[in-house]
């Protein structure tokens, strides 16, 4: 009877404290220890679960912060210079290895300040391109004439071995349509609504510039109508929709912009397309750099 009373007393004490000294027989002693231990384990499991949940939440929040910080403040300033080969039997042998730097969507302004623009220009020049082409969206915001004027003081610092040519994008027109056109022409580097022959000895390639599809559309045939159909032709445009406009001239390479990145469209003949431009089978190369890419011509 004494042992049973001791056991009941032990259980009663157990409900009030986490640990008790059991002085009963080995059987009841082991039983009491088991009951107390089980209670402690359950409490530890709850505490561990809460700790793990809090740890997961903290990890998710930190990861989101790192991703956002990287996207807005680090990755946007990291400039890569991938080179994509463009092969064609129409590329003259003397142009084999000809390197074209494509510059687009600099969006000069609040998040892309002047020091970064200068860095991009200097880094591009260090790659020693044969030709530099700008395909628009050099500024970001609307109604900021000062930014438009300033960027056109910086763009002429780009230096290619043969030439530097430019067309405008929709953001440039949105800032100030007339001013953007005037600054483009005053730069003496405009290829808008005109074509240019680039020669190597007796051989040559032809490059022409289209206007912005939505703000300054210029027909393709109007630009290339006096060119030799046997020559390798490159069309510059800010919008990919320009490649889908009706034309009879054969264009070998379109260089356009889409969603802040540049695209190289290796298209031999483009009279008129039955399908949408956004058919990925028609996209030869997709650029994953921050608005700078090099197209290298390969004669085959």
For residues 34-48, give the mean pLDDT: 55
Averaged pLDDT for residues 100-119: 88
- Whole-number percent of the chain with pLDDT over 70: 66
What integer pLDDT is reported at residue 246 of this predicted model?
Answer: 86
- Do 54 and 184 lie in one domain? The reply is no
Q: Are residues 271 and 124 in the same domain?
A: yes
**Are both 63 and 148 inside the same structural domain?**
no
Task: Dump pLDDT digits (tens) for 238-282.
Answer: 888 888 888 888 888 888 876 555 444 443 333 333 333 333 333
What span, in angstroms and rounded, lies between the C-alpha atoms of 114 and 110? 9
Please tell me the pTM assigned to this model.
0.70
What is the spatial distance between Cα 188 and Cα 198, in angstroms, rounded to a whole number? 16
Tens of pLDDT, residue by residue over 45-99, are 555 566 677 777 777 887 776 666 555 555 666 677 777 788 889 999 999 999 9
pLDDT at res. 51: 67
Under DSSP, the state recorded for 168 is -
Cβ burial of 227 (10 Å; 0-12, 13-18, 19+) is middle
Residues 125 and 250 in one domain: yes
Q: Is 12 exposed, middle or buried (0-12, 13-18, 19+ CB in 10 A)?
A: exposed
**Based on the domain organization, do 6 and 129 belong to the same domain?**
no
Question: 44 with 153, same domain?
Answer: no
* Ordered DSSP codes for 79-129: ----EEEEEETTS-GGGTT-EEEEE----BSSSS-HHHHHHHHHHHHHT--
pLDDT at 63: 76
Q: How is residue 135 written in tokens?
A: 């395909």
End-to-end CA distance of the chain: 105
Name the least confident of 3-12, 30-39, 117-126, 271-280. 271-280
Asked which of 25, 51, 73 is the last residue of a domain, the reply is 73
DSSP, collapsed to helix, strand or coil, labels residue 179 as: helix
- Which domain, by its residues, includes 294? 81-299
Same domain, yes or no, for 55 and 120?
A: no
What is the spatial distance between Cα 117 and Cα 150, in angstroms, rounded to a whole number? Answer: 11
Nearest-CA neighbor of 292 among 102, 19, 130?
102
Same structural domain, 131 and 199:
yes
Domain shared by 44 and 148, yes or no: no
For 116-172, what is each residue's pLDDT tens digit?
Answer: 899 889 989 999 999 999 999 999 877 789 999 999 999 999 999 999 999 999 999
Same domain as 66, residue 177: no
Q: Which one of 14, 40, 73 terminates a domain?
A: 73
Over 70: is that where the pLDDT of 295 sits?
yes
CA distance readout (Å), 39 to 19, 34, 89: 10, 9, 81
Per-residue pLDDT at 220 exceeds 60: yes
126 with 67, same domain: the answer is: no
Domain total for the chain?
A: 2
Q: Does residue 7 surpass a pLDDT of 70?
A: no
CB 174 within 8 A of CB 132: no
**Predicted local confidence at residue 85, as pLDDT:** 83
Write down the pLDDT at residue 146. Answer: 93
């Amino acid at each position: 009877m004494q042992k049973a009373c001791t056991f009941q007393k032990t259980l009663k004490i157990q409900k009030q404290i986490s640990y008790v000294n059991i002085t009963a027989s080995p059987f009841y002693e082991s039983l009491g220890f088991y009951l107390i231990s089980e209670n402690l384990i359950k409490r530890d499991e709850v505490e561990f679960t809460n700790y793990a949940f809090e740890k997961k939440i903290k990890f998710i929040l930190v990861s989101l912060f790192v991703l956002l910080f990287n996207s807005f403040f680090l990755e946007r300033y990291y400039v890569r210079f991938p080179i994509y080969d463009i092969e064609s039997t129409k590329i003259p042998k003397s142009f084999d290895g000809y390197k074209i730097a494509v510059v687009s969507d600099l969006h000069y302004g609040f998040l892309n300040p002047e020091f970064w623009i200068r860095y991009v220009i200097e880094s591009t020049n260090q790659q020693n391109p044969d030709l530099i082409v700008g395909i628009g969206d050099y500024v970001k915001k609307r109604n900021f004439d000062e930014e438009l004027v300033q960027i056109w003081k910086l763009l002429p610092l780009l230096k290619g071995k043969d030439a530097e040519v430019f067309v405008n994008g929709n953001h440039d027109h949105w800032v100030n349509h007339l001013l953007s056109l005037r600054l483009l022409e005053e730069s003496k580097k405009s290829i808008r609504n005109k074509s240019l022959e680039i020669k190597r000895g007796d051989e040559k390639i032809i490059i022409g510039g289209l206007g912005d599809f939505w703000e300054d559309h210029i027909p393709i045939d109007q630009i290339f109508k006096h060119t030799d159909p046997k020559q390798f032709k490159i069309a510059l445009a800010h919008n990919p929709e320009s490649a889908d406009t009706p034309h009879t001239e054969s264009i070998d390479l379109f260089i356009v912009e889409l969603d802040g990145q540049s695209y190289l469209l290796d298209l031999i003949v483009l009279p008129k397309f039955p399908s949408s431009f956004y058919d990925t089978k028609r996209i030869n190369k997709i650029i994953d750099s921050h608005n700078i890419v090099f197209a290298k011509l390969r004669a085959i």
